[in-house]
Amino acid sequence: MTPLSFRPEVMIQGSENPQPDPMPHRAPRVSYRMSDPAMVLAETGTLALFAFGASTPLHDDPRWMQIALEPFETPAPLELWQVEGEVTHGRDGAVRWSAGGGWLFAALELDEHDHDGADAAAAIAYRTLHQFVSSRAERHVLRVWNYLDAINQGEGDDERYKQFCHGRVAGMGDFFVDGFPAATAIGHHAGTQRLQVYLLASDQAGTPVENPRQTSAWRYPRQYGRTPPSFARAMSLPAGDALAISGTAAVVGHASAHADDLQQQLVETFANLDALLQHAGMPSGLDTHSPLKAYVRCPGDAAQVRRFIHERLPGVPVLLLHGDICRGELLVEIDGWRYA
């Protein structure tokens, strides 16, 4: 008979009574809101607040981030992360951060012109974030977002996304030695060669989740670059009460499906989302508390994407953004959250 696996208890020195592991923290609540930024930032528990597009105002609060992706519907709502308890925030060199309730938001923006391109900028970004997070109690990185200019520019190994992937791994070192986080990488159209990277971390580990329909990204063959993408398909947060879903597109195995066919790519993308939820042990489908982002390559496709999602997921909050997918033949990508 195979013995049951167990985790040894942490013993209090000088005591025979074991100290149980701390209760996992409830997942941050992610939502979209039409509101005044100053009012939201003043609320208790606001960990981060995101605005989309160049027309949004700047703000010096470290929790505020202006994302370089343009929304298709304006005015666009703000994306709000809220946690239980008080939040502190500040800056550490290039890193802006906030923390509360066992959770950490950290972000930075780099100008590639100052760092010799996408490869070097990605290496510096991840090395900098690694150094910062390593100094924190909230050292378990669960979810990362990456936005860079002209993601598909270049041929072969010189494509900017492949350069980014190579630099990311060079910079991360042993950052993710216990497993890769969930992640998204999307190309923006700001024309500034600005790299934006931000993350969610916790003082407790999550559980990476893979999709049985897809090859794990770090196992992609050589045709996808010198260094394969390094992310999990999703991350179950410590309490098991939420799933952070990575950027998901029409990829089966490691190959793109239905090249340049938007309708079939949407069908395949939703098949991947369904399989991912099932493999994660989450309830099937998505509900009105499950905010999604849909990144759409061609502006003329936005209406079709909106219609498809609203028909499949009535009432689910969706933010449509103009963004390029990491493979030129892919037209749409979806990421988001599923709460238990």
Q: What are the residue numbers of the active site?
A: 333
Buried b (16+ CB within 10 A) or exposed e, 1-26: eeeeeeeeeeeeeeeeeeeeeeebbb
Place of tokens 């304006």: 74
Q: In this structure, what is the dihedral angle of CA atoms 145, 69, 30, 130, given to the nearest 10 degrees? A: 20
Helix (H) or strand (E) segment spanning residue 118: helix 117-134
Euclidean distance between CA atoms 130 and 122, whole angstroms: 12
What letter does residue 97 receive in the DSSP assignment?
E
CA 335 to chain centre: 8
Whole-angstrom distance, CA of residue 40 vs CA of residue 24: 26
